[in-house]
């Protein structure tokens, strides 16, 4: 109580000022036409601004779930496109329905990268999907701009992906439009450059040609664009090109990937192993 009295004694005039000014401004704003209009306008601007900021903030917190739902949607679209492409290549242009399960050869599921290496000789990434989400060893991993790698290890909730930037990585890739195919490996220097080998020397190629997955494997479907031809040469005495391919994908700044499941993978592999 004593402190309160001291406070009033010390700041009494300021308190009186504020009190009286509040009354005055209340009167001004309510009983003067022009001030009332200006006040209404300014208050509208201010509350509009505040509402906008609040909306932005709450949008920000919704981004996570929005992202996830977009990823699921993307993977569905990706599945439609890839299956359509694969079917049209195999069967000509036929009406294709995703509901027709016999024509559904690949399924896609989104995943988030939670750890990655990029500057080693053998690079891996870890994703937040595991056995629970029916991830299995040998599934392909693609991103919106190309291929990423192959699932190598799976735990309950996570999976480790061997990226294409790995010395064991061998991807079957083809030149768009003429179907000559070779093996894509990573020579190990630049993370944006890979090397396409074993492409026969009579293949017609030019700089800038697009390289895509050939579909001659059980992992990646046909037609995912990987990169463009940056440079090519024939080593003396070799019968195949050595081609530098500039990737569309930049693994360094990737955050989301899609897991590709080839539904006929096991059947095909068993058949091929029996054959050997």
Partner 1 sequence: MIDLGFLSYGHFFIYPLWIMLLPFKLPRPILMVLAFIMGLIVDMFYDSPGVHAATLVFTAYAREFVLRILEPEIGFDLDQPFSLKRLGIVWYIAYAALFLIIHLFVYFSIEVFSYVYFYEIMMSTISSLIFSVFIIVIFVMISNPKY
Residues that bind partner 1 (CB under 8 A): 12-14, 16-17, 20-21, 23-28, 31-32, 34-35, 38-39
Say if residues 160 and 151 touch (Cβ distance below 8 Å): yes
Q: Distance from first CA to last CA of the chain, Å, rounded?
A: 97
C-alpha span between 45 and 132 (Å, rounded): 51
Name the residue nearer to partner 1 (CB basis): 12 or 264.
12
Distance CA 40, CA 32 (A): 12
Tell me the closest approach of the beta carbon of residue 70 to partner 1, in angstroms.
Answer: 44
Smallest distance from the beta carbon of 50 to partner 1, in angstroms?
20
Of 41 and 132, which has the nearer Cβ to partner 1?
41
Q: How far is the CB of 21 from partner 1 (least distance, A)?
A: 6
Our CB check for partner 1 shows the closer of 42 and 268 to be 42
SS3 sequence of 49-77:
HHHHHHHHHHHHHHHHHHHHHHHHHHHHH
Nearest distance from C-beta of residue 33 to partner 1, angstroms: 10
Our CB check for partner 1 shows the closer of 31 and 61 to be 31
Minimum CB distance to partner 1, residue 16 (Å): 4
Q: Which is nearer to partner 1, 24 or 137 (CB)?
A: 24
Rounded Cα gap, residues 257 and 147, in angstroms:
9
Taking the complex as a whole, how short is the minimal distance between the CB of residue 3 and partner 1, in angstroms? 19
Q: Which is nearer to partner 1, 14 or 101 (CB)?
A: 14
């Amino acid at each position: 109580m004593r402190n309160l009295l001291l406070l009033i004694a010390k700041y009494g005039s300021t308190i009186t000022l504020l009190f009286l000014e509040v009354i005055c401004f209340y009167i001004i704003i309510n009983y003067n036409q022009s001030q009332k209009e200006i006040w209404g306008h300014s208050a509208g601007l201010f509350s509009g601004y505040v509402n906008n900021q609040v909306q932005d903030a709450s949008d920000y917190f919704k981004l996570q779930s929005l992202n996830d739902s977009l990823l699921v949607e993307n993977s569905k679209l990706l599945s439609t496109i890839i299956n359509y492409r694969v079917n049209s290549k195999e069967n000509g242009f036929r009406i294709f329905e995703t509901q027709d399960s016999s024509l559904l050869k690949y399924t896609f599921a989104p995943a988030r990268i939670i750890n990655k290496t990029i500057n080693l000789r053998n690079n891996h990434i870890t994703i937040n999907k595991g056995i629970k989400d029916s991830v299995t060893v040998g599934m392909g991993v693609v991103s919106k701009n190309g291929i990423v790698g192959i699932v190598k290890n799976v735990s309950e909730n996570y999976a480790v992906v061997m990226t294409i930037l790995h010395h064991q990585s061998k991807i079957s890739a083809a030149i768009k439009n003429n179907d000559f195919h070779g093996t894509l490996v990573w020579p190990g220097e630049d993370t944006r450059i890979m090397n396409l080998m074993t492409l026969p020397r009579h293949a017609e190629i030019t700089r800038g040609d697009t390289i895509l997955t050939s579909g001659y494997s059980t992992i990646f479907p046909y037609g995912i664009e990987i990169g463009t031809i940056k440079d090519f040469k024939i080593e003396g005495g070799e019968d195949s090109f050595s081609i530098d391919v500039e990737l569309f994908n930049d693994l360094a700044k990737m955050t989301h990937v899609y897991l590709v499941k080839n539904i006929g993978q096991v059947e095909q592999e068993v058949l091929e192993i029996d054959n050997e």
